A and B are shown apart, each in its own frame.
Chain A
């Protein structure tokens, strides 16, 4: 009875699964989000290079528009229902567990040696591993840190030299962050910018605050959110963020590139923002380490980026594995990371000419965070549900703080309880044994 719809869908979409004979030419299709011109060019060159050297495994790529935070994942979900998944698709770090747990992707351990894996930063391998198996592999990582407009901060009397001198062992605390935000909030400026994308950006950029306060969103085994995302520590951390909004130190509706456009004094921003600021900022700016909790002083930073996975519908997994093994070699990882202006996942990539600018300055700081303080997002098959529930709750909490100009801890508790309930319901319904 349950097979009937799938049979219909297969017939209606014309999908059949014909095994590829050993002597036949394999054709692989890759889906990855469309990106800036440098990356699109990188893909064209690399695919042409591979196709020329491997006439028996031909590869083509489809760039998928990523119009909002969850649109690309929705495309994958829709493709899955109609059996239209490509051979290889890129997936955001925390979604690796979701796809792996649902049997949408296949393990890649056979195509990456232990020596290979040891060359990748720990955070990248951890994020892409589910149930002890490697399900995805990526060329780049990401990080988040505290950016500040030096010119404006000096005008406001903030000790910029002190910020410049901070190290990974001695980052600023969240109280210091709030003091700076307060000092720098005027009619023209808000003191701080928090990633406000109403989507995955929120759990991604804010998770280290919760970890530094002592509790992650979800238990380490990925099974429980109750007592974690709605814990006392989490409520306190969320209240701190809501207070920034209530006091008007951060905008609930920030303009595009608020920091770059000189509308805010500081920003909790991504490693990808550095290149944009280098190209376009008309003021002197600096970046220091992700702030830490005042009590624990534990340094934690976000990480994770898009990785390639092989779908269950791939008819020639070996060919896909070989291709990915080549695509993720040191030189390709280095040139991709340089083109997309993100830190590389392979340690050996940093020795190449392409990554020379990671020796000092903002990029060296992000690399240092990745090597020392990066913690991947929770690895749980219910991450997609958690992410959208958390983003919705935070949007509600910020809206409440903005409207009432004060923080209501009971409301925060109730919203975070809803996140925990939503996660638990999803996990219990589909994944609990």
Chain B
């Protein structure tokens, strides 16, 4: 009996210790994630001009009704999905390719690893400003157009043409982000036993077959993780359109998060911005769950 009491006492102590360890994280999550989320949903039910919280008026689902007939919301959603659908495979493939390159052992490989990872260490604001100059339509200013014109080609209005602006942002975003995913893939590659490659080689499998039947299955878990985090990051696209294009030209780079920002802070429609944020949250969660289901089905 005394022994049982002693055990349950120890269990209780362990439980208290466990709670003490998770408490800081839980408190921070509640304060900075759960409470703001509850408030977002709460404010979305109000006509709320950011400067006039005292004049807030409950309007029920009116903001949501307005949202679904707001063509700018649908444009922003379409742009966000377009960006995500293109950038995720492009960035992941680029990252995997780079990881395969730098996973080889050769002299100076760490320099290449550092080079490919270095855009990650720079602020996205700085990168965006830099690429705005690189993309400048004037060949005297924009390096890329300077190269194109020196090759006898016409300059391209990368950021001031609605047909090219989003694709230009996709390219620079993948360039900036691939280094991080490369490091994750690199860690994944190192976890694949070398004897599998040796056995395949003995059996006559060429490099491509080794990649297809050993590397890809070996990286399955890593690929799922990388796709998931890249997709969630892509859905939150804000800095690049904010710095480089201000959502233009012709709304071609207006994303959902950028639209939330302009509605909430530039135009002061705080209640309406909250309703977009709430819908955005549902969309991201739905897409993440769908992605999880799809990848689970492939196991």
User: Which residues does A use to contact B, with CB under 8 Å?
Assistant: 1-2, 5-6, 8, 70, 73-74, 77-78, 80-81, 98-99, 102-104, 198-199, 251-255, 263, 384-385, 388, 391-392, 395-396, 398-400, 402-403, 422, 426, 429-430
Contacts and interface: CB of A to CB of B under 8 A. Distances in A.
Contacts of A102: 49, 51-52
B246 A198 contact: yes
A78 B58 CA distance: 21
Contacts of B154: none
Contacts of A74: 265-266
B123 to A, nearest CB: 12
Given A1-B58, A251-B138, A252-B137, A395 B246 contact: yes
B14 interface: no
Contacts of B270: 81
B7 to A, nearest CB: 43
Contacts of A398: 160, 249
8 contacts: A102-B51, A255-B136, A255-B141, A388-B267, A395-B248, A400-B250, A403-B157, A403-B249
B247 interface: yes
A285 to B, nearest CB: 20
Contacts of B262: 388
Contacts of B267: 384-385, 388, 422, 426
Contact of A384 (B58, B136, B157, B268): B268
Contact of A98 (B47, B51, B265): B51
B51 A399 contact: no
Given A402-B160, A403-B157, A77 B138 contact: no
Interface string B14-52: 000000000000000000000000010011001101111
B214 interface: no
Interface of B: 39, 42-43, 46-47, 49-58, 136-138, 140-141, 157, 159-163, 246-251, 262, 265-270
Contacts of B47: 429-430
Given A5-B43, A255-B140, A403-B162, A396 B51 contact: no
Contacts of B43: 5
Nearest to A254: B138
A81 B52 contact: no
A408 to B, nearest CB: 12
Nearest to B140: A263
B140 A399 contact: no
A402 B161 contact: yes
Interface SS of chain A: helix, strand, loop or mixed?
helix
Contacts of A2: 46, 53-54, 56-58
A77 B39 contact: no
A77 B265 contact: yes
B50 A77 contact: yes
Given A6-B53, A388-B266, A426-B267, A403 B141 contact: no
B141 A399 contact: no
Contacts of A402: 157, 160-161
B206 to A, nearest CB: 48
Contacts of A5: 39, 42-43, 53
Chain A CB within 10 A, most for which of B136, B248, B270? B248
B138 A253 contact: yes
Contacts of B140: 255, 263
A382 to B, nearest CB: 9
A254 B53 CA distance: 40
B266 A384 contact: yes
Nearest to B163: A403
Contact of B50 (A81, A399, A403): A81
A103 to B, nearest CB: 7
Contact of B249 (A77, A103, A396): A396
B250 A399 contact: yes
A402 B54 CA distance: 45
Contacts of B249: 395-396, 398-400, 403
Contacts of A422: 267
A98 B22 CA distance: 46
* 5 nearest CB pairs, A to B: A399-B249, A102-B51, A74-B265, A2-B56, A255-B141
A184 B143 CA distance: 25
Given A254-B138, A385-B266, 5 more contacts: A198-B248, A253-B141, A392-B248, A395-B249, A396-B248
Chain B CB within 10 A, most for which of A70, A253, A398? A253
Nearest to A252: B160
Contacts of A251: 137-138
Contacts of A388: 262, 266-267
A384 B136 CA distance: 29
B251 A396 contact: yes
Nearest to B265: A74
A179 B135 CA distance: 30
A398 to B, nearest CB: 8
Contacts of A399: 160-162, 248-250
Contacts of B247: 392
B51 A80 contact: yes
Nearest to B49: A430
Given A1-B58, A403-B157, A81 B250 contact: no
Contacts of A426: 267-269
A32 B162 CA distance: 36
A73 to B, nearest CB: 8
Chain B CB within 10 A, most for which of A78, A198, A384, A399? A399
A399 B251 CA distance: 11
Contacts of B160: 252-253, 398-399, 402-403
B39 A103 contact: no
Contacts of A198: 246, 248
B76 to A, nearest CB: 13
Given A2-B56, A253-B136, A255-B141, A77 B246 contact: no
A94 to B, nearest CB: 14
A70 B138 CA distance: 26
Nearest to A104: B51
Contacts of B265: 70, 74, 77-78
A396 B136 contact: no
Contacts of B141: 253, 255
Contacts of A70: 265-266
